């Protein structure tokens, strides 16, 4: 029998509807517990960029679309074989439980931040292709 922590049990109890996702649900729980869901807020504009720490690096997500930069989303979700990826599940769980790691930046840092984020996404794509 798998040993679980109290925090894991609490998250499982809060989101029983996500159990249907199996191992993705488990990964999402681990990601939320580790503080891997980041919301970067730029001030004073209020622009937001949301990333989730993945196995190969950070993934960019837009939960409103929904969209994720991971290969699972591209190949399986957009291909109609799966409903979602664990990065989007992680975000939903973190947002509803107040476990988003919110980091504030000035609007002047937005361009440099996006450049670094896009570079990271391309690096993750390169690694996932290997």
Look at residue 37 and tell me if it is in a domain.
yes
| Helix ranges (DSSP H) in the chain | 6-14, 23-33, 71-72, 86-97, 110-129
Residue 1 lies in a domain: no
Q: Does residue 97 sit within a domain?
A: yes
d(CA 2, CA 123): 34
Residue 76 lies in a domain: yes
113 falls within a domain: yes
Instruction: Report pLDDT digits (tens) over 74-93.
Output: 999 999 999 999 999 999 99
Segment 102-118 shows an average pLDDT of 93
More confident residue, 57 or 11: 11
Sign of CA dihedral 113, 116, 122, 124: negative
Do 50 and 61 meet the contact criterion of CB atoms below 8 Å apart? yes
Find the radius of gyration of the CA atoms of the chain.
15
| 1 has a pLDDT exceeding 50 | no
CA distances from 117 to 8, 12, 34, 78, 81 (A): 29, 31, 20, 22, 28
pTM of the model: 0.87
How many structural domains comprise the chain? 1
Pairwise pLDDT comparison (55 vs 101), residue with the higher score: 101
Domain that holds residue 77: 6-129
């Amino acid at each position: 029998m798998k040993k679980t922590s109290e925090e894991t049990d609490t998250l499982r109890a809060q989101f029983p509807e996500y159990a249907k996702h199996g191992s993705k649900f488990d990964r999402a729980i681990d990601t939320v517990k580790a503080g891997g869901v980041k919301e970067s807020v730029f001030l004073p504009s209020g622009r937001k960029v949301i990333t989730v720490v993945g196995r190969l690096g950070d993934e960019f997500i837009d939960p409103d679309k929904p969209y994720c930069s991971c290969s699972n989303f591209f190949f399986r979700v957009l291909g109609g074989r799966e409903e979602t990826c664990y990065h989007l599940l992680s975000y939903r769980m973190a947002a509803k439980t107040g476990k988003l790691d919110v980091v504030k930046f000035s609007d002047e840092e937005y361009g440099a931040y996006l450049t670094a984020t896009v570079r990271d996404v391309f690096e993750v794509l390169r690694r996932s292709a290997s």
